[in-house]
Amino acid sequence: MEENKTIRFNIKARDDRFFRAAESVLKKYKITRRPALEEGFVVFDVTGGTSDYVVRIHPEWRENPRCTCPDAENRAKENARGYCKHIIAVLLKNTEFRCQLLEAFL
Ligand SMILES: [Zn+2]
């Protein structure tokens, strides 16, 4: 629907994502940090769900976090600036990167 474009940000969808991240990802999935940086990014493997995904976090936040899941490219992009539940879970779990969660609230 065309008029939905004026609603740039869906707060409920964003909040749902945070709860899903806390509930499903943090409880069920395994988040493994790769030992070395890859092209300047800290890389995390998220396993234990229906598919495995890779989350990349820029340590100085020069770029927003990225995830290989389809949600990051689709619904999360419209509703939460690309912050899918995997990215949210990784950021919640790693205090040094937690400030990057702010982007989802701006
Ligand atoms: Zn994801």
pTM: 0.80
Angstrom distance (rounded) from CA 11 to CA 74: 16
Tokens of 104: 């989802």
Instruction: Kindly give the distance from the C-alpha atom of residue 5 to the centroid of ligand 1, in angstroms, as a whole number.
Output: 23
Query: How far, in Å, from the CA of 22 to the mean position of ligand 1?
Result: 13
Q: Which amino acid is at 76?
A: A
Q: What is the mean predicted confidence (pLDDT) over 48-58? A: 93
CA distances from 99 to 3, 64, 71, 94 (A): 32, 11, 22, 10
Q: Which amino acid is at 5?
A: K
CA of 106 to the centre of ligand 1 (A): 20
Å from CA of 17 to ligand 1 middle: 11
User: When comparing pLDDT for 38 and 9, which is higher?
Assistant: 38
Indicate the pLDDT class of residue 74, thresholds 50, 70 and 90.
Answer: confident
Neighbours of 14 (CB within 10 A): 17
Side chain identity at 45, as an amino acid letter? D
